[in-house]
Chains A and B, each alone.
Chain A
């Protein structure tokens, strides 16, 4: 029977039930992730933002709220230009944060060889 309405899942973040394993891992390798105050400077200066919906502020917030998939999708628009590092008023090493995240997600598949990455000639 069609009542003309249906159920949609709650969009509320239940802070007791969310999975913060990624956040806790990042707290260790990139402790700056704690000090974001959501000013949005990073997103405002981001080269990729207008084209891909990338917003580092939102990525950090998503990780803090346990929404890993959302963070991962958004971060795929990052081009590692480093402008966000330059503008962050809290001096967050955003590059280290992003690289650490990529390394974490990559380690699902294989052990990430970071030294190899550095040697790549452009």
Chain B
């Protein structure tokens, strides 16, 4: 089983205005624009760009308690890319925590600060509204200084998080598997047998069991393939 994940529908967080304001896009939209250059919402010469971390992740109210794992590093990567495209633009990242666990991720963070001058503001964006100029005004609390901050942006990127595939429930039902409390498929053991399901002969790989990075997904796919080989060869 490798049913993957879906992205959190950012429009559900109404306070961020995705689908309402022109200048609010998601991480997937921005990545699509990097690849194709095709998105009318992105202005030609933005002066200020903002990234909102944890959109729909670590959010019990949105029904997702899990950390989406990849958005921190994705936001930093995209922030640096925006800085490369628009060197004169100010880029702000609004974060709750920066979880840069992977190899070289912390180096990316330092690079973004030191070489690209990306501004990191610790505080969750509370409210986004449209301004007269057609951009958006973002309000947040700078929790490190304990003061509210306000900034006008030409583009706001929402880092929509990884959530479970909504089809998991029905697919799991067909092969008599269980979904976990977070909606992802349940492994036999979260530490020692992630790629094995509780049912013999059914194997799991990738983001169907939780948010994963690409290296993790590849490693799990290999591990699952090997486990299946062992199973079919009767080595278990």
Report which A residues bind B (CB closer than 8 A).
10-16, 27, 31-32, 34-35, 37-38, 57-58, 61-62, 64-65, 90
**Given that A34-B114, A35-B114 are known contacts, is A12 also in contact with B144, CB under 8 Å in the complex?**
no
Q: Which of B12-20, B53-61, B148-156 contacts A (4 or more CB under 8 A)?
A: B148-156
Contact of A13 with B147 at beta-carbon distance under 8 Å, contacts A27-B117, A38-B122 already known = yes
Contact B144 A61 (CB under 8 A): yes
Determine whether the beta carbon of A16 is less than 8 Å from that of B149: no
| Nearest CB in chain B to that of A12: its residue | B148
Complex CA–CA separation, A11 to B139 (angstroms): 13
- In the bound complex, what is the Cα–Cα distance between A64 and B149 (angstroms)? 12
Chain A residue contacts of B113, Cβ below 8 A: 34-35, 37
Contacts of B98 in A (CB 8 A): 37
The CA-CA distance from A34 to B119 in the complex, in Å, is 8
- Which residues on the B side are within 8 Å of A12 (C-beta)? 147-150
Binding site for A on B (CB under 8 A): 48, 90, 92, 98, 109-110, 113-114, 117, 119-120, 122, 142, 144-145, 147-152
Q: Can you report 8 A-B residue pairs in the complex whose CB atoms are below 8 A from each other?
A: A12-B147, A12-B148, A12-B149, A13-B142, A34-B117, A35-B113, A61-B144, A61-B145
- Collect the chain B residues with CB atoms within 8 Å of residue A37's CB: 98, 109, 113, 120
Task: Determine which of B90, B110, B145 lies in contact with A65 in the assembled complex, contact meaning CB atoms within 8 Å.
Answer: B145
- Which residue on chain A has the smallest CB distance to residue B145? A61
Given the complex of chains A and B, what is the CA–CA distance between A10 and B114 in angstroms? 31
CB of B148 within 8 A of CB of A13, answer: yes
Please, how many angstroms separate the alpha-carbon atoms of A15 and B147 in the complex?
A: 12
**A35, chain B: closest CB distance, angstroms:** 5
User: How far, in angstroms, from A84 to B142 measured CA to CA in the complex?
Assistant: 23
Q: Of all chain B residues, which has the CB nearest A16?
A: B152
Give Cα A26 to B156, complex, Å. 28
A39 to B183, CA, bound (A): 34
Give Cα A86 to B113, complex, Å.
Answer: 21
Give the distance in Å from the alpha carbon of A64 to the alpha carbon of B142 in the complex. Answer: 12
Q: A58 — which chain B residues lie within 8 A by C-beta?
A: 145
List, in ascending order, chain A residues with CB within 8 A of B120's CB.
Answer: 37
Contact assessment for B144 and A14 in the assembled complex, using a CB-CB cutoff below 8 Å: no
Q: What CA separation (Å) do A83 and B147 show in the bound complex?
A: 28
